[in-house]
Amino acid sequence: QVPLVESGGGSVQSGGSLRLSCPASAFTFRRDCMAWFRQVPGKEREGVAVITTSDVTDYADSVKGRFTISKDNAKNILYLQMNSLKPEDSAMYYCASTSKLWACADVSLRPDDYGSWGQGTQVTVSS
């Protein structure tokens, strides 16, 4: 199985944009729901956006209207387009996948429902 490896993080000023990428295996793309999480030191990991195998999506309230999760099924890459970034978006961002049917049915953003994780990519937004 291809490990999840995030890329695209970096430093940007408030109001800027970044696009995170996470390649996965074709098998993972066909079977799993995939999501983006973020974590700040000392705080719990937070669900940001999720996309199911049927392309149903859901977002944390804090990013709705600014972030977009998408998949390129031909290239097997998960994306997170982040626009209008704010300093409070600064965090380590993780790509994750789950094959748990109930998690996908719930369009879950609960970290405990996900079993495969990348190493993370840092996003820093300055004011």
Tokens 């669900």 map to which residue? Answer: 47
Q: Is 99 exposed, middle or buried (0-12, 13-18, 19+ CB in 10 A)?
A: middle
Q: Model confidence over 45-75: pLDDT tens digits?
A: 999 999 999 999 999 999 999 999 999 999 9
pLDDT class of 3 with cuts at 50, 70, 90: confident
Residue bearing the bigger pLDDT, 104 or 123? 123
Number of H helices, E strands in the chain: 2, 10
> In percent, how much of the chain has pLDDT > 90?
91
Residue 75 structure tokens = 């290239």
One-character DSSP codes across 35-75: EEEEE-TTS--EEEEEE-TT--EEE-TTTTTTEEEEEETTT
